[in-house]
Chains A and B, each alone.
Chain A
Amino acid sequence: MDSHAAGSSSGGSGDGAAQPRRNSRKPKYSKFTQQELPACKPILTPKWVISVFVLVGVIFVPIGIVSLRASQQVVEIVDRYDDACVPAGVTDKLAYIRNDSIPKACTRNLTITKDMKQPIFVYYQLDNFYQNHRRYVKSRNDGQLRDKSKASKTDNCDPEAKTVDGKPIVPCGLIAWSLFNDTYNLIRNNETLSVDKKGISWKSDRDHKFGSDVLPMNFQKGPLQGGKILDSKIPLSEQEDLIVWMRTAALPTFRKLYGRIYVDLKENDTITVQLENNYNTYSFSGKKKLVLSTATWIGGKNDFLGLAYLTVGGICFFLAFAFTLLYLIKPRKMGDNSYLSWNRATLGR
């Protein structure tokens, strides 16, 4: 793109110099008001176009390769267990999950496909659970979560605002009420792997959004239990599962961090997972999955970014090549004044 030092323009309201002593009412000249500020006037030429595409390609392809490699290095094991953990012979899944007298313990076996270096992250993934529905997102009271003195404030929390006898529920609202309550116990070679559940939530949530003096009160006392029951002796800022759950997800398929394992896992290790299949996803055909994953500088396993960079870089190289070919085969001489209409016999458009 070419630059010009200043717009070339002859004086606009050039008054004749015929009467030099007359008071002129011509406004004072300034580059700003006469729109003659120094300016860059980019013009697209084939050279610039080709260079831009080559530059974008040269930047994007290496980034794509690096991102893709980082994503391929992540080892991720996903195990869906909500249908497999229903005992054989049970046809009414909803009745099964609601019946407290049926034991919900379930054992799953995971095989590690590649060496996994610590820290290994344990997630639970839910499908078809709309945490981003407007009524659901609204159903919480941030003031109550933060401040002990606001315990009785339960606006927006209906229907989980107060108990039947009118006492306020802390934490109120549907988000807290539907807290995920499956638990996982991971065992390798008869040795329990300890899952560190501290520090799984965001620090700003722990420090500023959930009070360290706010204790759960009257929680899950209603006729329908939606999820986990909270220990009423532990303040909210230490209830990390609740904090992680209340940071609502963006889409109906989401993962939330359950804990971290600080042990290396080797290829072909068998991890036995003793889980409690408590959470009801059967009433809305949701899915529950347990995920074990490592993480690199780019995060978890997602080839999309790497592939997208490679695709766009490739497209740019292709376009650079195509424009080079067009330029060589059909050079359109820029500045060829014969193209201008007033130089041509007929006024062409």
Chain B
Amino acid sequence: MEAVTRLVKIRTSKTTLAIGDGANDVGMLQEADIGVGISGAEGMQAVMASDFAIAQFRFLERLLLVHGHWCYRRIAAMICYFFFKNITFGFTLFWFEAHAMFSAQPAYNDWFISFYSVAFTSLPVIALGVFDKDVSSRVCLEVPSLHQDGVNNVFFSWSRILSWMLNGMCCSIIIYFGSLNAILVQAVRQDGRVAGFDILGVTMYSCVVWTVNCQLALYISYFTWIQHFVIWGSILIWYTFLVIYGLFSPAISATAYHVFVEACAPSPLYWLSTLMIVVTALIPFFVYKISRTLYYPQYHDQVQRANSKNW
């Protein structure tokens, strides 16, 4: 049977799935791209050689139609979003270099940069990759043709990947040039003080954190308390970190010493420019999403819409 599997794989270049429950199926399970082993009457050998193990043959339907659909969508979205958030962040550093003689001076304090992927934007991505659902499991079972989204590579096509990257680039341009023009060169507060390198860094970084997290909130279709907690929580963690880090002695915090509580928070210009920049950066994606789902819906959009009860 493994010879047959290999023949099908090579001749048709398609992804193959094999399901079996006995020791004689082990070869076939290993040869196929996806091996599903059934644990039970014939022992555990098939399970040990498989990628997925289920308890009864009829669970295969659920595995493919429900979990297959959800996981494909989640992983594709997670990877595209990951590129987006890092491009948004990284490119603001590049645009700054154009104004710093390309001397490799980072626009932000070192610890801001180190904690970006760890503390401020990591949990929402995990929530996206683990919990997001576009339709319920009942709908997945009722509409088996949703499975074709995976076969046709709808969610991870090159156009999707590149458009997320383009979105990241546009967001970074809006954030960088918006912060620059709003905050420099004039005074930023009523006491006549101007913004230096540190205030610009904090403003840009806050805009980046807000933008990438709100972008995720615009994208996901399933909001439990977990999603709310991680998205708004990440933004709160950023401000908390800024305050706490600013309390450390200047030997450690360098340019971030007291910068938020003393310089940024009392300045209405800081808060107003954050609001303006974040909303402006999110508008292109929002308009695209509206046009797509309302006027050019794809198949999965239609299914999702047909299955939500209230209009």
Question: Which residues of chain B come closer than 8 Å to A251, judged between CB atoms?
Answer: 99, 180, 184-185, 200
Question: Which residues of chain A come closer than 8 Å to B192, judged between CB atoms?
Answer: 119, 121, 257, 260, 293, 295, 300
Contact residue among B191, B272, B303 (Cβ-Cβ distance under 8 Å from A63):
B272
Interface flag for B30 (CB, 8 Å)? no
What CA separation (Å) do A38 and B86 show in the bound complex?
Answer: 31
Question: Which residues of chain B come closer than 8 Å to A253, judged between CB atoms?
Answer: 184-185
B93 CB to nearest chain A CB (Å): 12
Interface flag for B7 (CB, 8 Å)? no
A320 CB to nearest chain B CB (Å): 11
Residue contact B182 to A308, C-beta cutoff 8 Å:
yes
Q: CB-CB contacts of B67-101 with A at 8 A, as 1s and 0s? A: 00000000000000000000000000000000111
Q: CB-CB contacts of A140-180 with B at 8 A, as 1s and 0s? A: 00110010000000000000000000000000000000000
Interface flag for A277 (CB, 8 Å)? no
Interface residues of B, count at CB 8 A: 80
Q: CB-CB contacts of B288-311 with A at 8 A, as 1s and 0s? A: 011001110011001111101111
Q: CB-CB contacts of B7-35 with A at 8 A, as 1s and 0s? A: 00000000000000000000000000000
Given contacts A135-B103, A203-B262, contact A41 B269 (CB under 8 A): no
B188 CB to nearest chain A CB (Å): 5
Interface flag for A337 (CB, 8 Å)? yes
Residue contact A319 to B221, C-beta cutoff 8 Å:
no
Question: Which residues of chain B come closer than 8 Å to A202, judged between CB atoms?
Answer: 193, 262-263
Interface residues of A, count at CB 8 A: 87
Residue contact A37 to B101, C-beta cutoff 8 Å:
no
Within 8 A of A (CB), among B91-137: 99-101, 103-105, 131, 133, 136-137
Contact residue among A125, A130, A295 (Cβ-Cβ distance under 8 Å from B185):
A125
Q: CB-CB contacts of B41-62 with A at 8 A, as 1s and 0s? A: 0000000000000010001001
Question: Which residues of chain A come closer than 8 Å to B223, judged between CB atoms?
Answer: 39-42
A122 CB to nearest chain B CB (Å): 9
Contact residue among A13, A323, A335 (Cβ-Cβ distance under 8 Å from B311):
A335
Interface flag for B172 (CB, 8 Å)? no
Given contacts A8-B138, A299-B188, A308-B182, contact A56 B195 (CB under 8 A): no
B39 CB to nearest chain A CB (Å): 10
Given contacts A60-B279, A254-B185, contact A134 B196 (CB under 8 A): no
Contact residue among A13, A56, A305 (Cβ-Cβ distance under 8 Å from B273):
A305
Interface centre among B189, B192, B311 (most CB of A within 10 A): B192
Residue contact B304 to A43, C-beta cutoff 8 Å:
yes
Contact residue among B101, B190, B279 (Cβ-Cβ distance under 8 Å from A299):
B190
Residue contact A133 to B196, C-beta cutoff 8 Å:
no
Residue contact A255 to B186, C-beta cutoff 8 Å:
yes
Residue contact A252 to B267, C-beta cutoff 8 Å:
no
Question: Which residues of chain B come closer than 8 Å to A119, judged between CB atoms?
Answer: 192
Interface flag for B265 (CB, 8 Å)? no
Interface flag for A288 (CB, 8 Å)? no
Residue contact B280 to A308, C-beta cutoff 8 Å:
yes
Residues of A whose CB lies within 8 Å of any CB of B are 2, 4, 7-10, 12-13, 25, 35, 37-46, 49, 56, 60, 63, 67, 74, 76, 119, 121, 123, 125, 130-135, 137, 142-143, 146, 202-204, 208-209, 247-257, 260, 293, 295-302, 304-305, 308-309, 312, 315-316, 319, 323, 326, 332, 334-335, 337, 339-342, 347, 349
**Shortest beta-carbon contacts, A-B, top 8:** A300-B186, A300-B187, A121-B192, A134-B105, A250-B200, A134-B103, A204-B258, A40-B223
Can you name 6 extra interface pairs (CB under 8 A) apart from A37-B226, A302-B181, A334-B311? A125-B185, A208-B249, A254-B196, A299-B186, A299-B269, A308-B182
